């Protein structure tokens, strides 16, 4: 039985995952690695890990860009039905390899309840082995000033940043990031 301590996550019965930069958008690039491809790998592995723990998971079609993914979510889910998470890799220069590989973040919406989820996830990242510099920020702190994924989806929505493209990019590391994501989502959702 689900018993999330987070008010915003007490009603949803399904987790919906979407890989950031779907469609033809590659996202950040650290040749030969592309954010889109890595986000897809992480989403697929995270979904499998969550399902093995009894969590109902849906995945937005990887072929859709962000706008079409939002439309897909809104056609299939309403507020209170699902917790929707878009998964990204971050990009920056000047970070140590450890920081770039292990720093994770979450963007949250404008409500205090959404912020509570963000703070919980940040702490859970660190407890599960992410870098101590992992963060939680309002979507207004993004370089875009607001994030459509959070503002335009009907269900509760957050955006996860899992490591930096300038850090490790091998399959073992992507699997490690999927394990962190699944642990954090499970902890928050249940």
Q: What is the pLDDT along the chain (190 residues), one digit of tens a residue?
A: 467 999 999 999 999 999 987 667 666 777 788 878 999 999 999 999 999 999 999 999 999 988 999 999 999 999 999 999 999 998 888 899 899 999 999 999 999 999 999 999 999 999 999 999 999 999 999 988 899 999 999 999 999 999 998 899 999 999 999 999 999 999 999 9
Nearest C-alpha neighbor of 85 from the set 149, 158, 138, 140: 158
The pTM of this model reads: 0.94
Domain ranges of the chain: 7-189
Hey, how many other C-beta atoms are within 10 angstroms of the C-beta on 30?
16
In CATH, the architecture of 7-189 is: 3-Layer(aba) Sandwich (3.40)
Is the CA virtual torsion 31, 121, 102, 129 positive or negative? negative
């Amino acid at each position: 039985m689900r018993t999330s301590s987070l008010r915003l996550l007490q009603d949803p019965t399904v987790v919906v995952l979407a890989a950031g930069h779907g469609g033809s958008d590659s996202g950040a690039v650290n040749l030969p690695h592309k954010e889109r491809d890595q986000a897809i790998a992480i989403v697929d592995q995270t979904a499998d890990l969550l399902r093995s723990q009894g969590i109902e998971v849906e995945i937005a079609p990887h072929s859709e860009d962000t706008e079409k993914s939002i439309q897909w979510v809104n056609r299939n889910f309403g507020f209170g039905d699902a917790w929707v998470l878009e998964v990204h890799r971050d990009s920056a220069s000047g970070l140590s390899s450890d920081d770039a590989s292990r720093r994770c973040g979450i963007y949250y919406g404008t409500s205090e309840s959404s912020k509570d989820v963000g703070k919980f996830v940040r702490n859970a990242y660190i407890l599960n082995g992410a870098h101590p510099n992992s963060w939680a920020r309002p979507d207004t702190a993004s370089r875009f000033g607001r994030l459509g994924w959070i503002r335009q989806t009907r269900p509760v929505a957050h955006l996860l940043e899992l490591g930096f493209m300038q850090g490790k990019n091998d399959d073992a590391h992507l699997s490690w990031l999927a394990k962190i994501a699944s642990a954090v989502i499970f902890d928050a959702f249940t």
